[in-house]
Structure 1
Amino acid sequence: MIDYNRNRLPTTPAAAIRQQKQIAKKVIATDEYDKVIKLVCGVDVSYRNGIAHCSAVVMNIDDLSIVVEQAATKSEIKNPYIPGLFILREAGPILHTIRRLKCYDILLVDGNGLLHPRRCGLACHIGVIADKPAIGVAKSLLCGSVRDDNYVELEGEIIGYRIAKAHKSLYVSIGHKVSLNSAVSTIERVTKKGEWLPEPLRLADTYSKL
C-alpha cells in the first residue's frame, strides 16, 4: 500500500524539483526483485476537457493476448505540462490508479526514468514511492546524446537506451529496482512484432482515450 501522507506530492515547480533531488538519491539501479517477472503493468495518462484519464493494464509476459487486470481513474488537471516536471501533472493520477491493482511485478511508465537532467523522471518518482520495479519508456529524447551503439549518454554517464522500431524510437531508462539491461530486454520482450510500443503501454494508451 502506498503511504500518500508520507510521500506527499509536490504542487509547485520548486517543490517538485526539491522532491526529484531527494528521490533521485533513493533510486536503485540494479535488479532488486525476488521473483521472476511475470506480470507487467503499463500505465499512461491522456487529457480531455480538463480531465486526466489514467489507465493501467496488467499483462502476463508470456501471453500478450490477454489482459490480466486493468484499472482506470479520472481526475482534474491541476498543473500545466512542464518539460522535466511531468510529476506535477501525472504522478497523482498514476499513483491513484495503480493503487487499485491487485498484483503486478513491474511498471512500465510512459515517461523517463534516469534519463533526466536531475536523474529523476516520472518512472523514478513512481517506482520509489510505490516501492516497485519500474521502467521509463519515453517517445522523445529529453536530454543527453545517443551513441552509435544506441546507449544514451549525459555528462559521461550512460542513462538510457534507444530502441528503434517501425521508423520510430523509444528511449528506455531505469525507473527503480531494475538494471538498464533488464529494462531493455523486458521492453523488447513485451513488444509485439511490427509494433512500436510495448503491448501493456500500447493498451494503456488506447484505454486512456476511450
Structure 2
Amino acid sequence: MKQKPTKDGLKIFTTFEQDCLICKQSSTQLICGYCKEDLTLFELAAYEYNLMVVPKVKKGLTKASFSHLVALGDYQWPLSKLLTGLKFSAYIPNAKALATLFVEHCIKENSPLPQLIIPIPLHKNRYLQRKYNQSIELAKHINKLTNIPLNTSIMYRHKATHAQTNLSAAKRRQNLKHAFKISINNNLMQYQHVALFDDVITTGTTMNYAYNTLKAAYPHLEIDIWCICLTLENR
C-alpha cells in the first residue's frame, strides 16, 4: 500500500501499484487485466481438466505412464518469458504471477483436490549452483493460494543428470534412468491423492520417471501431473 498525505497532515492508504510483468504499465496486479485477456491458455474446461484426452498432447507424450495432466498453456511468450525470468534470473514475482494464473485457470471449482503437492526435485549439485528450485518457488505460491500442503523432502534426485535441453528423447530417458529416489522417512501412506508439479514438460521424460518412481513405491496413490507450460516436440 502507498501512504498519501492529506492537507491536515493525516495519511491515507491507497491501492498499491506496480508495473505489470508483461506490458510494464502501472497495475494493481502482477499481470494487468488487459494482458490477462490477451493470454492464450489451454481450454481445460473443454477437456474436463485433463489434457491427456487431447490427441495432440497424447501423441506428444507417447511414453507417458500418467493419465491425468493439467497445464496453463504452451511454452510461448509471455509465459515463456516469465518462466525464464524465474529460472535463470531468480525473479520471484514471476512465480507468484504464474501460480495465480495456474490456480485461477487449472483448478476446477468444487472438485476433489490433491492432498499434497510434490515438486520435481533438483540434484543437490544443481541446487547449489542455482541456490533455488523454480518448481518449488511456484509450488510455494500454489500452496498459499489453495492451502494444499507442500512437501519438498519426499522425493530426491540421487543421480546428477546432464541438462535435458539439447538431448533427444532417447537420450533423455537414458539420462534420467534411476534418477529419482523416495525418502525413507515419509508419510505418504496417509495420502490417497497427490500432485507432482514441474514448471515445464517437454518430452515428459522427467515427469514420467518421477511418476513411475512414486507409483512403484506407493501403488495406491492417485497422482495428478501439474505444470505451467507444455512444449511438446511431437505436437
TM-score (normalizing by structure 1): 0.35
Report which of the two has the higher share of strand. Answer: 1
TM-score (normalizing by structure 2): 0.32
Larger radius of gyration between Structure 1 and Structure 2: 2
